[in-house]
Amino acid sequence: MTGDRDRWAELTGGQAGEEYARRFARLAASGHDVHGEAHFCATLLAEPAARVLDAGCGTGRIAIRLAELGHSCTGVDIDPSMLAVARREAPVQEWLLGDLARLDTLGLEPGYDLTIAAGNVIPLLAPGTEATVVRQFAAVLRSGGLLVTGMGLDAAHLPLPEPTVTLTEFDQWCGEAGLTLRQRYATWSGEPYEDGCGYAVSVHSRSTT
């Protein structure tokens, strides 16, 4: 997540890490697949040891699974309670506390093969920072690198009373940052996206020119 005024902080007070982790532990124990995002990204990565940035990584669920699959993953989040869980679960991985609108201040080495922003990261950004965050995501990608995002488009798919971002706006921010839409799905399992779907998984790529 990002920023002192982000919607995530307003919802949780920055103390959601342990409960968030328990929620997914319960889902896993009940037989739910909690690694859909990681497996979706893994299918996009041609290299067996790709560099992945998990932006708004939370408790590290996605980055940890991608690391288990052989990729080199860095997680960034502004919520210390979430990162505390990630560091406990995977102490040797790189976890950075920081604002997604200021990725350029965190010392990240450009050239990531893929950046993922799942878990409604984009709709929960601080109002007015969205375009800046997308530019920051694009800046750390290599030529041809991928930005993968998942976001709710209606109240049923958001922890908010109403949507904060439209796909038209998001695609515009991506275009301004040099990113081109390659694929769009309705779920992390790859179901086709149609107008009116309440959730969108988008794959944009950085220009190769």
Phi, then psi, of 84 in degrees rounded to 5: -60, -40
Q: Across the beta sheet with 94-97, what order do the strands follow?
A: 94-97, 72-77, 51-55, 112-117, 141-152, 199-206, 179-185
CATH assignment of 7-206, among 3.40.50.150, 3.40.50.1100, 3.20.20.370, 3.30.1370.10:
3.40.50.150
Residue range 82-112, pLDDT digits in tens: 999 999 999 999 999 999 999 999 999 999 9
Residue range 106-144, pLDDT digits in tens: 999 999 999 999 989 999 999 999 999 999 999 999 999
Structure tokens at 49: 């040891």
The contacts of residue 42 (CB under 8 Å, 6+ apart) are 66, 69, 71
The pTM for the full model equals: 0.87
pLDDT reported for residue 12: 58
pLDDT reported for residue 209: 63
pLDDT reported for residue 15: 58
Q: How far apart are CA 11 and CA 58, in angstroms?
A: 14
